[in-house]
Amino acid sequence: MPNIKSAKKRVKVIKAKTLRNQIIKSQLKTHIKKFEALVEQGSAEEAKKAFALVVKKLDQATAKGVLHKNTSSRKKSKLMLKLNKIA
């Protein structure tokens, strides 16, 4: 455990940021799973709507620094390929 006041604060701040990042990643994974389920069912229109939401969430995670921009881009590309297969 830290003894210095600034070190104690850093521990507190890091816990808060870690929690926020976990929440954002969890929501993102949930939306991706929903999109992939729609792709498996073959419902193209609903999958397009879900894809738009996934892209939005990926962009938000990238803007907040949770994901690297290349990671976000790679995930979007991978999901776009899945969407194009059923469309």
Q: How far apart are CA 57 and CA 60, in angstroms?
A: 5
3-state secondary structure of 66: coil
Check residue 1 and give its pLDDT: 85
87 has pLDDT over 80: no
Do you know the residue count of the chain? 87
Q: How many CB atoms lie within 10 A of CB 35?
A: 23
Tens-place pLDDT, residues 30-79: 999 999 999 999 999 999 999 999 999 999 999 999 999 999 999 999 99
Tens-place pLDDT, residues 11-31: 999 999 999 999 999 999 999
Q: Name the one residue in this structure whose structure tokens are 């929690």.
A: 19
Walk me through the domains of the chain, giving residue ranges and CATH numbers: 5-86 (1.20.58.110)
